[in-house]
Amino acid sequence: MSYTQAEIEALVRQVVNRVMGDKDSSQIAAGKRPLLTADQINQLPASTTFAVPPNALVTPLARQAALERHIRLEEGSTQPAPTTGKPAIAVGADHGGYTLKESLKKMLATTHPDHEVVDCGTHSTDSVDYPDFAYAVAQLVGTGRAWRGIIIDGAGIGSCMAANKVPGVLAAMCYDQATAVNSREHNNANVLTLGAGLIGPNLAQQIVQTWLAADFGGDRHARRVDKIWAIEKRFNK
């Protein structure tokens, strides 16, 4: 007998319910509390960090799978997560990049309807700290939950620095279409940072579209990018 994914999840929930308290059991059964299973962990890139959704229940088998695949489970995160099966584009900004972020979200909804746009904040022009939002975007990309990431602050420099501290991320600050192409073809960048105080909305849209469309060149560039990853691995043993 074969089971559908939904049936398997229901069986797992029933088992978990038997070892949980009444309150938690009712939340799990009703689907109000996310359930993280071993199958989901096995789909993540090895040797990465995964931000566990808020209030999620991590099954023992999921924890074992994470241990075996050297995946660190970061619990208590408030980051948004992709909700559809579409490839995700994570976007984030501080107060200086908020307005540009909102305009880019509208553009992406039109130009990339086959992708899900995940907004990591901020959600107003109130003063905030750019590293918080750079980290939120970079985490989704670094853990494989987002296909690409776009971060906007005043100059784009600080967010680029912050994003590049996250394992699995190659962030590039771009200020024209040439740097956008180069960062993808030569460097295989998976996070783009922009300076809202340096470029206007029209140029920003051109950069984003160019960057998302450009492919990695591979060949000699792949050898050089591999050396970048090797540097990261020296400090993540």
Show which residues are catalytic.
186
* Residue 136 CB coordination number (10 Å): 26
Residues 107 and 123: their CA atoms lie apart, in Å, by: 17
Determine the angle formed by the axes of helices 201-213 and 98-111, rounding to 10 degrees. Answer: 50
Quote the tokens at residue 157: 């420099």
Euclidean distance between CA atoms 102 and 91, whole angstroms:
9
Read off the tokens for 220: 């000699």
Residue 112 contacts residue 171 (beta carbons within 8 Å)? no
